[in-house]
Amino acid sequence: MKKTIYSKQYKTLIARLKAARLHCGLNQVQVARSLRITQSHVSKIESGQRRLDVIQLKEFAKLYKQDIKYFIP
């Protein structure tokens, strides 16, 4: 398996991350404030420019009220 942020699996993960944010009715600024990161950091994660680690994914899942398994393809 290729280890890249451009893999099909990673694209699925970030698509689900963005969909969960939109489902919650949050914009990137609101997410950034809640997680104490910058809006540009959220944007880079959602566009695939920045890799997400498990701890961050757990924080996003909690904010979006989703089980972490939802995000993992």
Residue 55 domain flag: yes
Instruction: Please report whether residue 34 resides in a domain.
Output: yes
Number of domains in the chain: 1
Band of pLDDT at residue 32, cut at 50, 70 and 90:
very high
Q: Residue 1: which pLDDT band, with cuts at 50, 70 and 90?
A: very low
Say which residue the tokens 């420019």 belong to. 49
| Inter-residue contact 18 to 52 (CB < 8 Å) | no
Q: What percent of the chain has pLDDT over 70?
A: 93
Q: In b/e form, how buried is each residue of 44-55, taking b as 16+ CB within 10 angstroms?
A: ebbebeeebeee
The answer to whether residue 62 is domain-embedded is yes
Containing domain of residue 32, as a range?
A: 28-66
Kindly report the three-state secondary structure assignment for every residue of 26-46: CCHHHHHHHHCCCHHHHHHHH
Residues 6+ positions from 47 with CB-CB distance below 8 Å: 14
